[in-house]
Amino acid sequence: MVPAIVPAYAAVFALIFVALSVRVANSRRTMRIGLGHGGNVILERRVRVQGNFAEYVPFALILFTFIEWQGWSRWLVHALCLVLLLARLVHAYGVAREPEDIRIRASAMVVTFLMLTVAALLLLFDAII
């Protein structure tokens, strides 16, 4: 079975990552900060939103692809991808705000961790059974 669902979501995540990256690049250009954040809180938040996205999304997509390969139901694959997408958008919104509402950021991280955990457990279950 060739995955068809996760690649479509991967494309959406890639477009979001490009948007986050352009946002950082534009901020660096405007603020004239070539590397790091130069002590600028706004740029630091934008860099972390982009970095956090890059740290979690690819790993989740790999797990979701394996779940799709194993033949789990389409609705489950869609649900995992959609919930992760929502969590990452909420996280980006929450972290980018100044001042930050930690509840927004924390809830999005909990959901991201939950999606990674569910995916890992499904894969382990399939390997054991």
Query: Which amino acid does the sequence have at 59?
Result: F
Please state whether 3 falls in left (phi above 0), alpha (psi between -120 and 50) or beta.
beta
Task: Give tens-digit pLDDT for 51-83.
Answer: 999 999 999 999 999 999 999 999 999 999 999
Q: What is the pTM of this model?
A: 0.90
Give 50-58 contacts, CB < 8 A, sequence gap 24+.
50/17, 50/20, 50/21, 50/23, 50/24, 52/91, 52/95, 53/16, 53/17, 53/20, 53/88, 53/91, 53/92, 54/17, 56/88, 56/112, 56/116, 57/13, 57/17, 57/84, 57/88
pLDDT category at 95 given cuts 50, 70, 90 is: confident
- CATH number of the domain within which 36 lies: 1.20.120.550
Task: Give tens-digit pLDDT for 2-49.
Answer: 889 999 999 999 999 999 999 999 888 887 877 777 778 888 889 999
Check residues 96 and 109 and name the one with the higher pLDDT.
Answer: 109
Q: 117: domain range? A: 5-128
pLDDT category at 100 given cuts 50, 70, 90 is: confident
Predicted confidence at residue 21, as pLDDT, reads: 95
Check residues 77 and 96 and name the one with the higher pLDDT.
Answer: 77
What's the number of domains the chain is made of?
A: 1
